[in-house]
Amino acid sequence: PKHRKAQACCVQMATCASTQVPGAMVLWLLVVGTLAIRVDSSLADAGVAGQLPPLGKQEHSDHRVIVRYSEMPPGDLDTTEIDKQIQKLKAHPNVVRAQSLPSLGMAVVSLDSAEAGEELMETLQHDSSVELVVPDTWVSAFDLFAGGDSPLDVTAEPNRRLRSQHALPVQCSAHAACRMRGLIGDCCPAKDGMMLSCCSSPGNDLVALQTYGGTYVSASPDGAISQIAGAPQDSEIFEIAFHEDSGVSFRSLYGKYLTADAQGVVRADRAVVTHHEKFEMVEDGNGTVYLKSSFGKYLGAEDLERITADRTNASLWERFRVQPQAVPGQRLPDDPAFSKLWGMHSYHGFDIDAPEAWQVWTGEIGKGITVAVIDTGIDYNHEDLSEQMWVNPMEIPGNGVDDDGNGYIDDVHGADFANEDGDPMDDQMHGTHCAGTIAGIGNNAVGVSGVAWRGVRLMALKFLTSTGSGRTSDAIRAMDYAVAHGARIASNSWGGGASSSALRTAMERAEAVGMLFAVAAGNEASNNDEVPSYPGNYDLSNIISVASTDSLGKLSSFSCYGNSTVHVAAPGSDIYSTVPKNGYKTLSGTSMAAPHVSGLAALVWMYRPQLSMQQVREIIIGSVRKLPALDGKVITGGLINAKDALEAAWAFDPPKPPAHAPQAIEFEDIDPRIGAYGGVVTITAAADESDIDYYRVYMVSGAGFQLEAVGEPIPATGEPELTMELNASFVPPMYARALVAVSGRASGEMPARLRGLAPHVDIEDYGLPILGPKSVSWIGDPDTKKDFVNGSLLVERATDEASITTYNVYWHAESGARGPMLGSIAAVGFLEPVCSGTSCGLINMNRADDGAYVFERRPYGGLEDAEIRASGPGSVELTYFDTEDYYDKLTIGDEELHGNLTCCLPTMELSDGRTAIKWSSDDSIHGAGWSFRLRQEGSTVELQIETSEVLGSGFEVVPAYEKNELMSGMIVVEISGGAGKSQSEAYRGGKRRLATSEPSWGRRIGGANIPASNDKVHPTSVHAKQQKEPWLLQSGLETRSSARVIWSAEQVQQLSPFAARHGRVRSSFMVTGLAEEACTKPAIRAAFVQALAKQLPGVEESDVRLVRALGASIEEARHATPQDQVGWVRVEFEIEPSEGAHIIDLDRIESQLILLSIGRRPAEKFGSALSLVLKASGLPHHLMASPLDVVFTAPQQLSPRMLAAAPLLASAAEHSGDRRLHGAASPLFV
């Protein structure tokens, strides 16, 4: 009857047997087989199918759900309500951690068991404030090995020179800088005004500098500068770059920049551009120019052997003629492994034309751009990547402090969401390999070259573990971090599992702030139009889904494709790139294709920084090279092309925001609730509104990047001041630090940045304490001197310090006025024991004379649950303990207690911070009960007052939150005669600001809408499997390929108006114990529909459509015995809600189907309900076993784009090779 416990015993015994005696494992499994005890898949550790979890006190699996709260308009979100919801989640007896994601209106909840997750989902379904609860899912990386296991020998030839090969530019003479260089044409400057460009070569040009005497400036490999007569050769060719500060730089083909020092010595030996390497170029009207150094001296060539920069005045010898150099149309880097990068350049021609693009632009002098690599991390010390790593400007490396207050210590190059720390070092290789393709340093004579040579800042966001697996909730947190810290592009070489509305919501938020996602299409060699692969299949306008090609221009044998769901293709077979520890490897997969797109997006965006995200996406998609092999396989039918993308970017007209910005913005929070912001935003209008239609307010992160909008746009009316009243409080995202006011018009909106033209105001939370100290007493030894005191002030902390940061101590005058401040006492997050849960009323709780809290439950009953929360330091001393082993347990911190412990009752120490003591029992065997004593330290704190002059009749202790304190506190009187008593006053509301000389910029303001906690949250995961042929995974493949169609719908139903707008949800379930013959009966199929409609939220029977039923293969049926007549069937179905339903209805259905696919109890309930319906339909007993065993596969939510692309009803032959309908997880897209 208690098969769950029998399973657990069997599992434990089998584990012990296999550990001690290898042969015993086989024997024990035979015994299990004889008893017909089935080990449920629900016992498997999350994400590692087939492995049994450890029992007893060993670490439990982390089961998570993602809670989506009801949507509210911006500015209407009530932080107090969300705070209450988070506290309710934390109070649930089986919740281990709960973390809010206020910017998404979501929360990630970790629980101690799968059953607890199911219970929480059932509970929250009836909560009107909850929009949706989504079970956490797993994803994986898409890559595989293809050789190249040894690190590359990167020793290069000394002073190797590869000429940069630009085509002869045809440029305009209407622009001064172009005339200086003797250029002609009419296409300069660029439309966005960011840099000079030309029709055939819109980037940096190769030039020679001819002196007044006819010689040419020449640079040697050691950096020496001389004059050479005759036609210019390699040493006389320089790359000229125009900078935004009007300076120009000259780079020799040895990779070094021309520089001049204070003594006038000119050399070419600098690797980077500083102000000393920039020269002022002055046109003299004769077709020649003067070059002035940063020290104000002119370059001259009067000395016929060298060039100097020591002339105060310009004469004939200081004139130079800038001569463009005509060379072929490619630029190749000097990286020794470049010949292995066929995807960049190959003799077959099926590459992305990178050298042709590099002659136009490499990113070396651009503003730079941040690319988030959401993956297994990056080896940020790699020789070919270290200079390209993003550096958190607000974090001090290695000091062990969270300097920027974002929740991660020393997150210098990103963060690790899988392990909850600030070190995203790659322990797998997948992320490092992707990073090398995006932005391996180009032309540095080391290793490989990325698509973008320089200028990219690689942000390492690790959420995949060393096994390649990760959680969806961790991916969501990585995206949140990327947005807050200014990433413009996200590279995503992972996927798999069910669709998740929580992940889609996060990507929609990133879309709102202009983040572009390059996403691998998958490695299953299947059609994503028919069987979706997420996240690439989300119908969002900021996604580019990428298929893989080989060196012959064919679709890679493993690559997923889709004529309406996969946008482009990129090289993905046998891609050579960086791996950890200065190594290099060849890998294959769509994981390798997606970084080519990420790198190209970075190259395009650096080339034209003013383009919008949508324009960059349109450029990449619209500039592909059409290939016959890709026709009908991807939307564009083509391979990305870097050269054509840059040419398209040149032709694009970028957004044109107003040139005038608002003059100022003011805001002061007046909402006393902690984490809630309310008040009036005041904007001082621009002095000139001729090009402004409206103003808008955004929140920005501490790093200075745009987050979410606050309120609605404010029309420009000509009034000098405009106001926006926030009647209801808003909740800032985790990283929000300031408000920025921008101007906008139909053609574009000014960017919201801290260090831009737009004004900003720091936001400070005006929160007031909810509670105050319980008591205050004075223990004084009257000073021998008159009017002086000496003693101690004892303060008993508030019962809950969640809303208190300090207790401030003042002198209190007899008149009632507040005198000078004596000092302050820091709050420590103290919490007196408090119980929550349905069984708290059954637990005896009292306070002993020695101050300890005594808790007792003797005896206890079934299905009890309670949670006692308190703060440490302290101890828990067990005084009695007898419960049913394994199933009735008391969990204290990480220690799980069960069984009879009367022989050896332990005492456990409580560490600093808040902790939880959880009690739960099942409905079967009961023990005698338990009791324990809880002691807390630090409930009372002493403030020593040295000999001080009496400045009042007593002391006043006032609780404060940051700089805000209550108007009144607790007053102590009668200090002059020795010991004094506390006199409690009612705490009066109101605001009193504390004097401060510095703004509290570094502190976290509104980072969460709940009190700070030491709890860590571990969100969902994804994983990257490394294997030779990831498209040949064995899970379910043989069964699927040989399954027989028992019944199939005759025709495809027309799409309803709702489905045409919002889509459908597809899934299937396998029933073991049901004869195939049953599925041929209409009444039985009607029973399937009825059972599904009852199980799924808001679904009517008319919304359910059965697609087909599959059974055992012909070979299996031929060898079946009479006892096997009752076998298995798999039923495929789709849910299409009725017209008028909201998109959230599809999300709820998807969420419930995810739960059915991963949870044991929901599937059991469905099986029981299905049995009853089948029996009621009159199904003969010999066609059905009892009970039925039902297993669901992960659902897929189909977008209208997919529905329009191909019929939903496909033949068995069309689906025979598609195993993902069986719920198999996709590997990392390598």
Residues with a catalytic annotation lie at 375, 430, 591
Report the alpha-carbon distance of residue 892 to residue 863 in Å, rounded: 19
Pairing of strands 369-375, 489-492: parallel
Report the alpha-carbon distance of residue 304 to residue 24 in Å, rounded: 92
CB 1124 within 8 A of CB 1116: no
Report the alpha-carbon distance of residue 482 to residue 476 in Å, rounded: 10
Of 746, 739, 738, nearest to 694 by C-alpha is 746
Ranges of beta strands (E only) in 186-224 are: 205-211, 216-219
Of 1097, 1065, 1055, 1061, nearest to 1197 by C-alpha is 1065
Q: What are phi and psi of 1155, to 5 degrees?
A: -60, -40
Report the alpha-carbon distance of residue 581 to residue 381 in Å, rounded: 8
> Tokens in use for 681?
């935003």
Which one-letter DSSP state was computed for residue 1228?
Answer: P
Report the alpha-carbon distance of residue 887 to residue 113 in Å, rounded: 12
- Which residue type occupies 913? G
CB 282 within 8 A of CB 289: yes
Ranges of beta strands (E only) in 248-351 are: 248-252, 257-260, 266-270, 280-283, 289-292, 298-300, 308-311, 319-324
Using alpha carbons, list the distances in angstroms from residue 1178 to 1073, 1173, 1174.
16, 9, 7
Report the alpha-carbon distance of residue 94 to residue 91 in Å, rounded: 8
Report the alpha-carbon distance of residue 1223 to residue 1202 in Å, rounded: 19
User: Other C-beta atoms within 10 Å of 1008: how many?
Assistant: 23
Strand, helix or coil for residue 252: strand
Cβ burial 771-791 (10 Å sphere, 16+ → b, else e): bbbbebebebeebeeeeebeb
CB 408 within 8 A of CB 734: no
Report the alpha-carbon distance of residue 9 to residue 6 in Å, rounded: 5
Report the alpha-carbon distance of residue 156 to residue 170 in Å, rounded: 35
Report the alpha-carbon distance of residue 554 to residue 350 in Å, rounded: 9
> Tokens in use for 233?
């050769």
Report the alpha-carbon distance of residue 117 to residue 66 in Å, rounded: 10
Report the alpha-carbon distance of residue 375 to residue 356 in Å, rounded: 30
Q: Is the peptide bond before 328 cis (omega within 30 degrees of 0)?
A: no
Q: What are phi and psi of 489, to 5 degrees?
A: -130, 140
CB 843 within 8 A of CB 865: no
Using alpha carbons, list the distances in angstroms from residue 314 to 72, 216, 1197.
67, 19, 72
Report the alpha-carbon distance of residue 44 to residue 261 in Å, rounded: 68
**Token pair 């100022």: residue:** 664
> Tokens in use for 51?
């492995």
Q: Is 363 exposed, middle or buried (0-12, 13-18, 19+ CB in 10 A)?
A: buried
Q: Which residues pair with 646 in a beta bridge?
A: none
Strand, helix or coil for residue 208: strand
> Residue 1101 contacts by C-beta under 8 Å, 6 or more apart in sequence?
1089, 1090, 1093
